[in-house]
Amino acid sequence: MIKSITTRIFGLVTILFLLPAFPFSTSLAQTALIQNIPKRAVLSLNGKWNYIIDPYETGYYDYRTKPFDESLKQQDRAFYTNTKPKDKTERIEYDFDKSPTLLVPRDWNSQEEKLLYYEGTIWYKKSFDFKTSAPGNRIFLYFGAVNYRADVYLNGKKLGFHKGGFTPFNFEVTGLVREKDNFLIIKVNNTRKADEVPTLNTDWWNYGGITRDVIVAETPATFISDYFVQLKKGSEDVLSGYVKLNGPARSGIEVVLSIAELKTHITVRTDTSGMAAIELAVRDLHRWSPQDPFLYDVKISTTVDEVTDRIGFRTIVTSGPEILLNGRPIFLRGISIHEENAIRGGRAYSREDAQMLLSWAKELGCNFVRLAHYPHNENMARLADEMGILVWEENPVYWTIQWSNPETFETAANQLKEMISRDKNRASVIVWSMANETPVTPERMTFLKNLADTARHIDNVRLISAALEQHGIPGNELVRTIEDPFAQYVDLVSFNEYIGWYDGLPDKCAKIEWKFDFNKPVFISEFGADALGGMHGDSLTRWSEEYQQYMYQETLKMIGKIPNLRGCSPWILVDFRSPRRVLPGIQDGWNRKGLISETGNRKKAFYTLKQFYETISKKY
C-alpha cells in the first residue's frame, strides 16, 4: 500500500514536470533563466570577494539552530546583514571587510591549502555601485554556477536560493539595487547529501565556491528573455522555434528575427503570455559541421530591445545504425573531459581554460567531446560552435541516487532544464545525456524515462542518450551485451566498459564477443586505464604508460568488431583530481586515466588513439 501511494505521488510529480517548461520552477531560482545574458548591458562582479569560513553555520542559525531569517531577534548576528558595530560597546562577532579574499570565479579548494578538502559553508561578500542607464529599466543578478547550494542576499534582503552546482540562475533585483554601496552576500554550501544530484559518492573533486561568472545585467521593462532558433525537425530549409518576452507589456508585441547573411527576416506577434512561435523558410542555407563550423549572426529585436547571437544550423538524427549529420553518416571521434584545468589546479572557468581543453581534443583528432559528468561552463559549448567540435552534455545523475524521492527528481529535472535552456541554440551540442552508470531498477527506469521525456518536450531536435553499463550474458561472460531497458528509450545506445583495467588484463579484449538486439547506433562512452605520466615499464606493468598504451591497442581492435559502432569517447583527456584515488606515489588524489598528464605531457596512449582517429577519418 505504501509503495502504491509513493508511486502515485512520484507519478504526479512526473506529470507536472512534463507540462510546458516555462516558466521554470520558482522553488529553486526566483526568476526564469535569461538567455544569453552576457550580451546585455552588464557589470561584472568577478574579482576579489571577502569570505568567512563557517562550518557550524553560525552566521545563519542561532544556538538553537533556528535560522535568523525566520526570527525578528538577533538579526545583527546574521552574516547576511553585514552589520557594523554602532559604537565601542556593541558586540558583533564577524567583519567581512577585515576578512581575507577569494577570487571569483574560482573554486575555494585550489586557492587556499587549508580549504583543499573543505566541504561546508563559506560566506562570500562583494560591494559594488550600480546606476541604471534609463528610468524604468530592470536589474538582474546572474550566476553562471555556484556549487552546490547558494543562498543569495542583497543589501540584507534574501533573494532566494538555488541548488545545483553546474547550471546558471538569476534573480531580479529591480528596486533593491542602490547607486552606491550595495553589498551582495552569498552563503555557499557544497556539502554532499544523499538526496541531492549528484549524491554522496562521486569520482571527482567536490570543488566548492562561486565557480563561474557573476553579472549584474540591465534590461528594458519588457525584454527578450528567451529564444530558440534551430532547423525544424524533419526539415532542411525551415528554421523554427520561439521568442519569449518578459515584462508588463509582453502581449501583442511585434518581434523581428533577422539574419543578414540570408537576407531574410520574419515578424511575429506575441500572445498573452509573451510567447511567439517562429517558422521561417530559408534558401541556400550554409550548414554547420565540424569541417565547416559556419555561424550566422542572428538578431532578435522589438522596438525597445535587441539581442544578437551567433547560431549555426545543422540536422542530427539517427537512422538504423547510422548517426546522420546534415544527412551524412558520421563517426564520433571523441574524448571525455572533466571541467578542470589540471595544470593550474582547480575547476576550469575561463574561455582560456576551454580553449586549452578543446584544442587538445582537436590535436588528438577528435570531432566530438563528452562533457562529463555535469554541465560544463558555457564557454565550452560556444567555443565548440566556433571550433567545429560536436558535444555531449550530461545531467549529473551519477551512479546511485534516491530514485523514489520526488524532491530528488525535481532537482535533477530542474538542472536538466537549466542546462538545455542555456545551450539549446548551440549547433555543436548534439546529445543530451540523462545519466552515467546507474543501476537497473524499476524506480530508476521511471526516473530516467521521465527525464528523457522532459528533455524531448523542451528540445526535440537533439539526440537523447545515457552512459549505460554492459554485462556478460548468463553462462558466458565473454559474450557482452546491453540488458538495460532504458536502451529502448535513447537515440544513441552508449555504454562504459573497462575490459583490460577493472576487468582482466588487456589480452582479454581479444576474447570478447558483442551481441545486441537493437538496430541503433552504438557508442562507447568510456574505456581507459590509469598511467602515471613519465612512469615506464613493460606492457603488463600496472600504472605505466606502456600498460595504458597496450590496453588502448587491444581495446581499439576489439571495438572495431562491435556491430553498429559509430563512435567512442575514451576516459579521459587529462588527469583529474579525485579523493577516491589514494595510492601513494601513483595516484596521490588523482585519477590517472588521462591521455595527458596534469603537467600537460602526452602519454603514449595519446598517440595510439590519435592514429586510430586518423584512420577512421579517412572512412567518414
- Which pLDDT tens digit goes with each residue over 111-131? 999 999 999 999 999 999 999
Query: How many Å apart are CA 37 and CA 45, to the nearest integer?
Result: 14
pLDDT at residue 5 greater than cutoff 50: no
Q: Grid coordinates standing for 341?
A: 584545468
Please give the pLDDT value at position 28.
38
CA–chain centroid gap for 204, Å, is 14
Query: How many Å apart are CA 412 and CA 401, to the nearest integer?
Result: 10
CATH of the domain at 132: 2.60.120.260
Q: Who wins on pLDDT, 11 or 217?
A: 217
Q: Which residues contact 498 (CB under 8 A, 6 or more apart)?
A: 526, 527, 528, 529
Q: Which residues contact 526 (CB under 8 A, 6 or more apart)?
A: 336, 467, 496, 497, 498, 569, 570, 571
In a domain, 202, yes or no: yes
Task: Give yes or no for a contact between 140 and 37, defined as CB atoms under 8 angstroms apart.
Answer: yes
Name the helix (H) or strand (E) containing 95. none
Model confidence at 263, pLDDT cuts 50, 70, 90, reads very high
Considering the domain architecture, whether residues 302 and 331 belong to the same structural domain is answered as no
Q: Grid coordinates standing for 99?
A: 576578512
Task: Give yes or no for a contact between 374 and 340, defined as CB atoms under 8 angstroms apart.
Answer: no
Query: How many Å apart are CA 563 and CA 567, to the nearest integer?
Result: 12
What is the arithmetic mean of pLDDT over 181-187? 98
Considering the domain architecture, whether residues 449 and 537 belong to the same structural domain is answered as yes
Task: Give yes or no for a contact between 575 and 597, defined as CB atoms under 8 angstroms apart.
Answer: yes
Model confidence at 16, pLDDT cuts 50, 70, 90, reads very low
**Sign of the torsion angle spanned by Cα atoms 132, 137, 143, 144:** negative
Considering the domain architecture, whether residues 513 and 376 belong to the same structural domain is answered as yes
Query: How many Å apart are CA 413 and CA 564, to the nearest integer?
Result: 31
Please give the pLDDT value at position 13.
38
Considering the domain architecture, whether residues 152 and 45 belong to the same structural domain is answered as yes
The terminus-to-terminus CA distance of the chain in angstroms comes to 55
Considering the domain architecture, whether residues 174 and 304 belong to the same structural domain is answered as no
Q: Could you report the per-residue pLDDT of 400-445, keeping only the tens digit for each?
A: 999 999 999 999 999 999 999 999 999 999 999 999 999 999 999 9
Considering the domain architecture, whether residues 207 and 241 belong to the same structural domain is answered as no
Round the average pLDDT of the chain to a whole number and report it: 93
Considering the domain architecture, whether residues 424 and 514 belong to the same structural domain is answered as yes
Model confidence at 104, pLDDT cuts 50, 70, 90, reads very high
Please give the pLDDT value at position 69.
77
In a domain, 19, yes or no: no
The phi, psi pair for 103, rounded to 5°, reads -85, 140
| Residue 417: domain span | 318-617
pTM: 0.93
Please give the pLDDT value at position 27.
39
> Helix, strand or coil for residue 386?
helix
In a domain, 83, yes or no: yes
In a domain, 453, yes or no: yes
Q: Which residues contact 53 (CB under 8 A, 6 or more apart)?
A: 115, 118, 120, 121, 122
Model confidence at 74, pLDDT cuts 50, 70, 90, reads low
Going by their DSSP bridges, the two strands 101-104 and 182-189 should be labelled as: unpaired
Please give the pLDDT value at position 9.
37
pLDDT at residue 15 greater than cutoff 90: no
Task: Give yes or no for a contact between 224 and 234, defined as CB atoms under 8 angstroms apart.
Answer: no
Give the amino acid at 564: N
Query: How many Å apart are CA 303 and CA 297, to the nearest integer?
Result: 19
In a domain, 486, yes or no: yes
What is the arithmetic mean of pLDDT over 355-365? 98
pLDDT at residue 207 greater than cutoff 70: yes
Beta bridge partners of 47: 104
Q: Could you report the per-residue pLDDT of 80-103, keeping only the tens digit for each?
A: 999 999 999 999 999 999 999 999
Among residues 399, 406, 393, which one has the least CA distance to residue 440?
399
Beta bridge partners of 224: 245
Q: Grid coordinates standing for 559?
A: 571495438
Considering the domain architecture, whether residues 373 and 504 belong to the same structural domain is answered as yes
Considering the domain architecture, whether residues 44 and 120 belong to the same structural domain is answered as yes
Give, in order, the Cα–Cα distances in Å from 456 to each of 21, 432, 452: 11, 9, 6
pLDDT at residue 173 greater than cutoff 70: yes
Among residues 342, 412, 340, 349, which one has the least CA distance to residue 372?
340
pLDDT at residue 486 greater than cutoff 60: yes
pLDDT at residue 26 greater than cutoff 60: no
pLDDT at residue 6 greater than cutoff 90: no
Model confidence at 73, pLDDT cuts 50, 70, 90, reads low
Considering the domain architecture, whether residues 140 and 275 belong to the same structural domain is answered as no
> Helix, strand or coil for residue 446?
helix
Give the amino acid at 374: Y
**Sign of the torsion angle spanned by Cα atoms 498, 500, 501, 502:** positive
Q: Could you report the per-residue pLDDT of 570-585, keeping only the tens digit for each?
A: 999 999 999 999 999 9
Name the helix (H) or strand (E) containing 202. none
Residue 368: half-sphere exposure toward Cβ, Cα within 13 Å: 22
CATH of the domain at 455: 3.20.20.80
Out of 154, 185, 219, pick the residue that ends a domain.
219
Out of 314, 334, 351, pick the residue that ends a domain.
314
Out of 187, 219, 251, pick the residue that ends a domain.
219
The phi, psi pair for 194, rounded to 5°, reads -65, -30
Least confident span in 3-7, 199-203, 233-237, 308-312: 3-7
Model confidence at 38, pLDDT cuts 50, 70, 90, reads confident
- What is the full DSSP assignment across 219-283? E-SSEEEEEEEEEPTT-SSEEEEEEEEESTT-TT-EEEEEEGGGTEEEEEE--TTSEEEEEEE-S
> Helix, strand or coil for residue 209?
strand
pLDDT at residue 21 greater than cutoff 70: no
Query: How many Å apart are CA 447 and CA 82, to the nearest integer?
Result: 42
In a domain, 14, yes or no: no
In a domain, 462, yes or no: yes
What is the arithmetic mean of pLDDT over 307-334? 98
Please give the pLDDT value at position 68.
87
Q: What is the CA radius of gyration of the chain?
A: 25
> Helix, strand or coil for residue 64?
coil
Q: Grid coordinates standing for 4?
A: 502504491
Name the helix (H) or strand (E) containing 43. strand 41-44
pLDDT at residue 553 greater than cutoff 70: yes
Please give the pLDDT value at position 504.
97
Please give the pLDDT value at position 71.
67
CATH of the domain at 234: 2.60.40.10
pLDDT at residue 30 greater than cutoff 70: no
Q: Which residues contact 399 (CB under 8 A, 6 or more apart)?
A: 198, 199, 201, 202, 436, 437, 438
Query: How many Å apart are CA 280 and CA 90, to the nearest integer?
Result: 66
pLDDT at residue 4 greater than cutoff 90: no
Name the helix (H) or strand (E) containing 430. strand 429-436
Least confident span in 65-69, 233-237, 375-379: 65-69
Please give the pLDDT value at position 289.
98
What torsion do the CA atoms of 469, 498, 561, 360 make, to the nearest 10 degrees?
Answer: 110
Model confidence at 136, pLDDT cuts 50, 70, 90, reads very high
What is the arithmetic mean of pLDDT over 476-490? 96
Share of the chain above pLDDT 90, in %: 91
pLDDT at residue 310 greater than cutoff 90: yes
> Helix, strand or coil for residue 17?
helix
Among residues 378, 238, 230, 383, which one has the least CA distance to residue 314?
230
What is the arithmetic mean of pLDDT over 264-285? 96
Among residues 186, 183, 181, 246, which one has the least CA distance to residue 212?
186
Q: Grid coordinates standing for 16?
A: 507536472
Task: Give yes or no for a contact between 398 and 199, defined as CB atoms under 8 angstroms apart.
Answer: yes
- The residue behind cell 534558401 is 283
Structural domain total, the chain: 3
pLDDT at residue 23 greater than cutoff 60: no
Please give the pLDDT value at position 24.
34
Considering the domain architecture, whether residues 189 and 232 belong to the same structural domain is answered as no
In a domain, 449, yes or no: yes
Considering the domain architecture, whether residues 395 and 474 belong to the same structural domain is answered as yes
> Helix, strand or coil for residue 387?
helix
